[in-house]
Amino acid sequence: MSKTVPVVIAALVGFLMIFAYFVPPLLSWRQTAEEWFTIVATIAMLLGGANLCVHHLQKISDRDAGWGFSAVTLAAFAITVGVGLLKVGVVPESAKHLDHAWSGQFQQEGGAFWWIYQYLFSPVVATMFALLAFYVASAAFRAFRAKNLEAMLLLVTALIVLVGQTKDREITSLFLPTPSDGSLPWMPIADLTEFIRKTFVTAGQRAIMIGVALGVVATSLRILLGLDRSYLGGDE
């Protein structure tokens, strides 16, 4: 029963969403299903938050390896949720609601939540992203070597695309005649980059996308028909 009911709900809602796409009178049903999805997703978010707390409290309690990181995670989670919900540092924005301290937005500029976002979250994630430049440069020097024919092809393509992405691509047309009709001069590297993108990259991407889409259709049908119940957890 505990497995059958979720499978039936998933099948009914799933087929409703498919049929509503082709049968317009079913639109209102689809909209109701979407509203329900939003509500269920919100409840799932609460469940996720609770699960996060239980998991990390367990790690701290057992003194598992790296339990200190769990303590930092929990503290960060609690502080962020706390200052967001309590609107710490938020002031009323409208003259009509001056008596209502909580009438401002939770992410209002100057508030504690805004401060955390601006001076903790934002620099941390931007730094993580920026570090890529250093590691990619190191990898380019140490690992990107023409050890065989395939690596050489990859290397030459990468160099063409790399130059083609910068203004330096225009240098390659310096010694070529300028068209008399005023149009852009022929830029060998830029045109080659465009050719690689349009021909090889887009063709490859389309093949991957069509393959993935067919896989999604097959998997979705298996789920809707109740043949694949792995999303319910357990061994099924």
Query: Given the rule CB under 8 A, which residues bind other proteins?
Result: 21, 27, 30-31, 34-35, 37-38, 41-42, 93-94, 103, 105, 107, 109, 114, 117-118, 121-123, 125-126, 128-130, 133-134, 136-138, 140-142, 144-147, 155, 158-159, 162-163, 165-168, 170, 184, 197-198, 201-202, 205-206, 209
With the CA atoms of 105, 75, 54 and 41 taken in that order, what torsion angle do they form, in degrees rounded to the nearest 10?
20
Minimum separation from the CB atom of position 125 to other proteins (A) = 5
Rounded distance, CA 25 to CA 19, Å?
10
Whichever of 2 and 94 has its CB closer to other proteins, that residue is 94
Whichever of 30 and 56 has its CB closer to other proteins, that residue is 30
Which ranges of the chain would DSSP assign to H, the alpha helix?
Answer: 4-22, 27-61, 67-85, 112-116, 122-142, 149-164, 188-195, 202-224
Whichever of 50 and 125 has its CB closer to other proteins, that residue is 125
Minimum separation from the CB atom of position 96 to other proteins (A) = 11
Closest by CA position to 70, among listed 81, 80, 61: 61
Minimum separation from the CB atom of position 109 to other proteins (A) = 7
Whichever of 4 and 166 has its CB closer to other proteins, that residue is 166
Minimum separation from the CB atom of position 16 to other proteins (A) = 13
Whichever of 51 and 58 has its CB closer to other proteins, that residue is 51
Whichever of 72 and 158 has its CB closer to other proteins, that residue is 158
Minimum separation from the CB atom of position 100 to other proteins (A) = 11
Whichever of 64 and 109 has its CB closer to other proteins, that residue is 109
Minimum separation from the CB atom of position 151 to other proteins (A) = 10
Minimum separation from the CB atom of position 64 to other proteins (A) = 29
Given a contact cutoff of 8 angstroms between Cβ atoms, the answer to whether 106 and 84 are in contact is yes
Given a contact cutoff of 8 angstroms between Cβ atoms, the answer to whether 34 and 51 are in contact is no
Rounded distance, CA 149 to CA 142, Å?
18
User: At residue 230, what is the residue type?
Assistant: S
* Token digits of residue 168: 């330096």
Q: C-alpha angle 7/10/13, rounded to 5°? A: 145
Given a contact cutoff of 8 angstroms between Cβ atoms, the answer to whether 173 and 187 are in contact is yes
